[in-house]
Chain A
């Protein structure tokens, strides 16, 4: 139910209602609108004060030599910050790390969540228990999760290196070597956040009417065929939503990277969010960090728009 509402953007449910009001009385319609603004006012005030305002201030800041060490914006910088961002290999490396993390985490988080949801949906008994088991890690705070996985990964004393040693193998340097560090954090992220996608998929699967399955069975479709030709098309809006949310979530990686590797070894796993944090806070270069933020924001915006354009046919298909 929840997924359907988000996908349809309210266009289906919103328009008929407003039409009815318009017919009954124009005055009450205006009243309604005015009341609507009043009811939205608390939200709008907060939205303007804490989102739109700071965002605009951030744009202005990106053209200045602002620092967290002095009040105000400091001297004007023109495009210097942007030139430095575009020329900074550290920035583009960190963008690459974020992208690589997204590539590493999105497929397993979508595919595994889907597979687990299909399996859980087939359960006759204990579906609630399965849902709980998969969702439970998602509830844990990031600090607890990273602590657990640090104990698993840590060199010399961790569980996984110990298993390697017991088997007579050379244990990999799971957090101290770049390629392993990415995989280690990706595995943590999959374990930690798969529950959310799983629950969304499960909800989507339960939306599929039982009689569709029955009809497919009566027509003699095998389970694989039912899944491919019946369930997948019906689940398409949910899949589109999960992939989009997952890409956006992975592009925003910061916490688990920061806590597990600190972007290390060196800056070789540092995600772009940490680059911005380091520039803005550790180095106190707020103007430069704001410029980096704007470039990053633009990149995420482009990805979102491309995805939006790609999924438009899907929406038409679902709506039609």
Chain B
């Protein structure tokens, strides 16, 4: 077959070969140019990415990392914006959660073609801001755009501020919370006259509640993801450790110091291990197993992020959500993170475009009752304090958690989905499943973080 083609081609070669080739090349070039022109005209995200053309004056490019229930709610909010602003076209792009998202956001910004508005976790903010990837605002500037700093949950606003400059506009607080199965807890006598969980305080009461639930379910009192889920391990540990007043790291710009308190960490880990060792909680369950155990009533309590509410909302399960009980320490503390909106640094952005982008952000804040359906507590106080939200259950039960929220520690390798969470979470998991003692787990945290403490921070 191949030979035959060559033979046929040979005679033509001596004749008009150069002309034909040139004509062909010209035609090809013209075709490509036409394609490019056409692409620039339509401006789909792919074509814009390939050809590097910026966004149009009356359009906004918006990146986020939401899928599932959150993704649906965010799409609804963007659609609401588009309906209210028919003259503005919003190109919303969803990228996959965690490292892939942050890599793309950083590279796009470093490569001078960032989105106009993007979502970030506040726990990731210091790295982005420290590397000059975000536009900073003064409180006055934001107030002029209709978003005074006093209108946000204080803990979230504080986390949005780096060295006096506001780099992010918080959208929500999403704490680590405690779910409970209403039927199981009623049978276990844990509900008050109002049908709500009676307050639980201190380690003994929590253990007693789990034990009572275990008697009803016949399997487990409570459940938390241990296997293959370092972030959840970290969140559960951080809740208890922060309640004890512990701190993991402190940072001064790129310089990170380990400030782990061995005694407090061992106390928190010891309590967690006690819960799994006594059989009140399983020690080797993964995320899917957690969903299965809690949704089928084989565990009375679930420790997880409130973003799991949509997972159980569509089942027959009757459940409610409260902040993680105040187990240790003088004051209640909840572990949380926040989603926030940022404007990546962009020399091509003029004031008109900036105003448009901030207007979009403000619209999302005002529309964040939609967002609250995903379990999150709106950071925008006018919504958080509105009648519509305070009557929304179970979300309004754990507003307290947003006010007492503490985040991932500062540091360039810390934040949502970071290596910090992986290292610490893995050590916590090894303690929960019994393969390491609390003291060994603390040692594993120290030795696991050491290479990061020794390494130069990126961009220095």
Enumerate 8 A-B pairs (CB-CB under 8 Å) in ascending A order.
A154-B285, A154-B289, A173-B227, A173-B284, A177-B433, A260-B228, A266-B427, A284-B412
Instruction: Answer whether residue B426 sits at the interface, using C-beta atoms and an 8 A cutoff.
Output: yes
- Point out the residue from A67, A90, A260, A267 that lies within 8 Å of B459, measured CB to CB: A67
A270: shortest Cβ distance to chain B, in Å?
9
Give the nearest-CB partner of B299 in chain A: A156
Instruction: Assess whether A157 is in contact with B458, with CB atoms less than 8 Å apart.
Output: no
Interface string of B427-457 (1 = CB under 8 A from A): 1011001010000000010001001100110
Interface string of A259-274 (1 = CB under 8 A from B): 0111111110000000
Taking CB atoms, residues of chain B closer than 8 Å to A173 are 227, 284, 433
Instruction: Answer whether residue A65 sits at the interface, using C-beta atoms and an 8 A cutoff.
Output: yes
Give the nearest-CB partner of A286 in chain B: B458
Instruction: Answer whether residue A124 sits at the interface, using C-beta atoms and an 8 A cutoff.
Output: no
Instruction: Answer whether residue B103 sits at the interface, using C-beta atoms and an 8 A cutoff.
Output: yes
Known: A157-B289, A173-B227, A264-B426. 9 other contacts (CB 8 A): A68-B106, A70-B110, A70-B459, A157-B293, A265-B435, A266-B427, A266-B429, A267-B426, A278-B419
Instruction: Assess whether A69 is in contact with B227, with CB atoms less than 8 Å apart.
Output: no
Instruction: Answer whether residue A84 sits at the interface, using C-beta atoms and an 8 A cutoff.
Output: yes
Instruction: Assess whether B106 is in contact with A65, with CB atoms less than 8 Å apart.
Output: no
Instruction: Answer whether residue A141 sits at the interface, using C-beta atoms and an 8 A cutoff.
Output: no
Instruction: Assess whether B456 is in contact with A266, with CB atoms less than 8 Å apart.
Output: no
Central interface residue in B128, B412, B423, by most chain A CB within 10 Å: B412
Chain A residues 251-307 with CB under 8 Å of chain B are 260-267, 278, 281-286, 288
Instruction: Assess whether A74 is in contact with B419, with CB atoms less than 8 Å apart.
Output: no
B334: shortest Cβ distance to chain A, in Å?
26
Instruction: Assess whether B459 is in contact with A155, with CB atoms less than 8 Å apart.
Output: no
Instruction: Assess whether A154 is in contact with B230, with CB atoms less than 8 Å apart.
Output: no
Taking CB atoms, residues of chain B closer than 8 Å to A65 are 456, 458-460
The docked-state distance in angstroms from the alpha carbon of A263 to that of B107 is 25
Taking CB atoms, residues of chain B closer than 8 Å to A260 are 228
Taking CB atoms, residues of chain A closer than 8 Å to B99 are 281-282
Instruction: Answer whether residue A175 sits at the interface, using C-beta atoms and an 8 A cutoff.
Output: yes
Taking CB atoms, residues of chain A closer than 8 Å to B423 are 266-267
Instruction: Assess whether B293 is in contact with A156, with CB atoms less than 8 Å apart.
Output: yes
Taking CB atoms, residues of chain B closer than 8 Å to A283 are 412-413, 419, 452, 455, 458
The docked-state distance in angstroms from the alpha carbon of A52 to that of B384 is 55
The docked-state distance in angstroms from the alpha carbon of A196 to that of B98 is 33
Chain B residues 408-424 with CB under 8 Å of chain A are 412-413, 417-419, 422-423
Taking CB atoms, residues of chain A closer than 8 Å to B120 are none
Instruction: Answer whether residue B288 sits at the interface, using C-beta atoms and an 8 A cutoff.
Output: yes
Instruction: Assess whether A88 is in contact with B458, with CB atoms less than 8 Å apart.
Output: no
Residues of B within 8 A of A (CB): 13, 99-100, 103, 106-107, 110-112, 127-128, 131-133, 226-228, 230, 282, 284-286, 288-289, 292-293, 412-413, 417-419, 422-423, 426-427, 429-430, 433, 435, 444, 448, 451-452, 455-456, 458-460
Instruction: Answer whether residue A176 sits at the interface, using C-beta atoms and an 8 A cutoff.
Output: yes
Instruction: Answer whether residue A250 sits at the interface, using C-beta atoms and an 8 A cutoff.
Output: no
Instruction: Assess whether A175 is in contact with B228, with CB atoms less than 8 Å apart.
Output: yes
- Point out the residue from A67, A88, A155, A278 that lies within 8 Å of B282, measured CB to CB: A155
Instruction: Assess whether A281 is in contact with B103, with CB atoms less than 8 Å apart.
Output: yes
- Point out the residue from B133, B230, B413 that lies within 8 Å of A264, measured CB to CB: B230
Instruction: Assess whether A285 is in contact with B293, with CB atoms less than 8 Å apart.
Output: no
- Point out the residue from B133, B289, B426 that lies within 8 Å of A155, measured CB to CB: B289
Instruction: Answer whether residue A71 sits at the interface, using C-beta atoms and an 8 A cutoff.
Output: yes
Instruction: Answer whether residue A211 sits at the interface, using C-beta atoms and an 8 A cutoff.
Output: no
Instruction: Assess whether A177 is in contact with B452, with CB atoms less than 8 Å apart.
Output: no
Also in contact, A175 and B286, with CB within 8 A (given A90-B451, A266-B427, A288-B455): yes
- Point out the residue from B110, B426, B429, B455 that lies within 8 Å of A285, measured CB to CB: B455
Taking CB atoms, residues of chain A closer than 8 Å to B284 are 155-156, 173, 176
Instruction: Answer whether residue A31 sits at the interface, using C-beta atoms and an 8 A cutoff.
Output: yes
Taking CB atoms, residues of chain A closer than 8 Å to B227 are 154-155, 173, 175-176, 265
B35: shortest Cβ distance to chain A, in Å?
17
The docked-state distance in angstroms from the alpha carbon of A260 to that of B455 is 28
B444: shortest Cβ distance to chain A, in Å?
7
Taking CB atoms, residues of chain A closer than 8 Å to B460 are 65
Taking CB atoms, residues of chain B closer than 8 Å to A264 are 228, 230, 422, 426, 429
Instruction: Assess whether A155 is in contact with B286, with CB atoms less than 8 Å apart.
Output: yes
Taking CB atoms, residues of chain B closer than 8 Å to A282 are 99, 413, 417-419
Instruction: Answer whether residue A102 sits at the interface, using C-beta atoms and an 8 A cutoff.
Output: no
The docked-state distance in angstroms from the alpha carbon of A68 to that of B444 is 28
- Point out the residue from B417, B419, B433, B455 that lies within 8 Å of A176, measured CB to CB: B433
Instruction: Answer whether residue A62 sits at the interface, using C-beta atoms and an 8 A cutoff.
Output: no
Minimum-distance CB pairs A-B, first 3: A266-B426, A67-B458, A176-B227
Taking CB atoms, residues of chain B closer than 8 Å to A263 are 422
Also in contact, A265 and B429, with CB within 8 A (given A155-B286, A281-B99): yes
